Amino acid sequence: MRAVIQRVSEAKCVVEGDKTGEIANGYVVLLGICAEDTTEDLKWLAQKIVNLRIFNDDAGLMNKSLKDIDGSILLISQFTLFAQTKKGNRPSFITAAKPDIAIPLYERMIVELTELTGKKTQTGIFGADMKIHLINDGPVTITIDTKNRA
């Protein structure tokens, strides 16, 4: 799994003119799933996301987690995080998980993040053409790949 985590002061997802999710302070998490991903990857990544300390403390240091600031998450599925660009100019997405694998893992991530934060995880719609509106705070953007844990 790959995640791009953006610290935001506000964000929302719109699909065909309808708002599907909206948050104030917290994270927009773009989540890419590959065919080899497991629930172990999911649980590790969810813990990492929730406990990542990238919010400022009183001294202005990134020392607070999402839980410390009572922040929220807008989770967006994004298979393009597995784009392969070595050959030619048209990306290949062959390593991205097909929907039969990706959807259950995405839905489980929603549950996992909701349980860890104690707040409903806001979402887009899997596979939809989504418009993400956000104000990146900092800007702070962190990438995490579960295959690079060691």
Predicted confidence at residue 101, as pLDDT, reads 95
pLDDT averaged per 10 residues, the chain (length 150): 98 98 98 96 98 96 96 96 89 92 97 97 96 97 92
Nearest to 55 by CA among 76, 36, 69, 45: 69
SS3 content of the chain, % helix, strand, coil (to 5): 25, 40, 30
Nearest to 11 by CA among 2, 20, 114: 20
Q: Three-class SS of residue 75? A: strand
The full set of domains in the chain, from first to last, is: 2-148 (3.50.80.10)
Predicted confidence at residue 149, as pLDDT, reads 83
* Catalytic member of 38, 39, 80, 141: 80
| Side-chain-side CA neighbours of residue 83 (13 Å) | 8
Distance from C-alpha of 35 to C-alpha of 17, rounded to nearest angstrom: 31
Query: Is 80 among the residues known to form the active site?
Result: yes
The alpha helices in the chain, defined as continuous H runs, are: 39-51, 99-117
The pair of structure tokens assigned to 70 is 């009572």
pTM: predicted TM-score of the whole model, two decimal places: 0.94
Distance from C-alpha of 97 to C-alpha of 80, rounded to nearest angstrom: 11
What confidence tens digit (pLDDT) does each residue in 19-41 have?
Answer: 999 999 999 999 999 999 999 99
